[in-house]
């Protein structure tokens, strides 16, 4: 039996009426070719032309035109707060660590080395479990990468 496939992504806000949902972690939302399972247990093949970063609210468009919504999975994160959030954000970014930026806090994936560094420069840290939707990379590429171009 041939699996349904998706070769196209519809970005959040540019589609409606998904038939099902797939919940993916931040790392799993960066893909090119992979078989995924939906909430109702259906499976489909993602076969994109290029490795693509997906956001919460995007959708896979299957060959038959139906849509599968992408939900961000709950993940173990570290909530970062403090008196100088801008400075803390700079240090996180300087280490090329994906970061979700909100008005009163930052969220990053749990990492004991980054946690130790942030604690030493005055951050208040708390372990949380929430969906992770970090800021996209510069220049519209969606994710940050190393400087090896």
pLDDT at 62: 98
67 and 79 assigned to the same domain: no
49 and 100 assigned to the same domain: no
Question: What is the phi/psi pair of residue 54, to 5°?
Answer: -100, 145
Query: What does the pLDDT look like over 73-85, one tens digit per residue?
Result: 999 999 999 999 9
Angle at 47 between CA 38 and CA 11, to 5 degrees: 70
Provide the domain limits for residue 84: 75-137
pLDDT at 99: 96
pLDDT at 138: 58
95 and 68 assigned to the same domain: no
> Considering the entire predicted model, what is its pTM?
0.85
Give the number of C-alpha atoms closer than 13 A to the C-alpha of residue 127, restricted to the C-beta side.
5
Indicate whether 142 belongs to any domain. no
68 and 79 assigned to the same domain: no
105 and 128 assigned to the same domain: yes
Indicate whether 144 belongs to any domain. no
CB contact at 8 A, 73 and 25: yes
Q: Give the number of domains in the chain.
A: 2
């Amino acid at each position: 039996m041939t699996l349904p496939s998706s070769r196209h992504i519809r970005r959040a806000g540019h589609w409606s009426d998904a038939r099902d949902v797939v919940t993916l972690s931040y790392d799993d939302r960066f893909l090119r070719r992979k078989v995924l399972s939906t909430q109702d247990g259906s499976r489909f093949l993602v076969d994109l032309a290029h490795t693509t970063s997906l956001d919460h609210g995007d959708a896979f468009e299957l060959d038959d035109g139906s849509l599968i919504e992408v939900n961000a999975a709950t993940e173990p994160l570290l909530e970062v707060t403090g008196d100088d959030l801008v400075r803390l954000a700079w240090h996180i970014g300087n280490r090329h660590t994906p970061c979700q930026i909100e008005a009163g806090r930052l969220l990053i994936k749990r990492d004991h080395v980054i946690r130790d560094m942030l604690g030493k420069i005055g951050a208040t840290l708390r372990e949380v479990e929430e969906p992770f939707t970090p800021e996209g990379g510069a220049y519209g590429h969606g994710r940050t990468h190393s400087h090896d171009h």
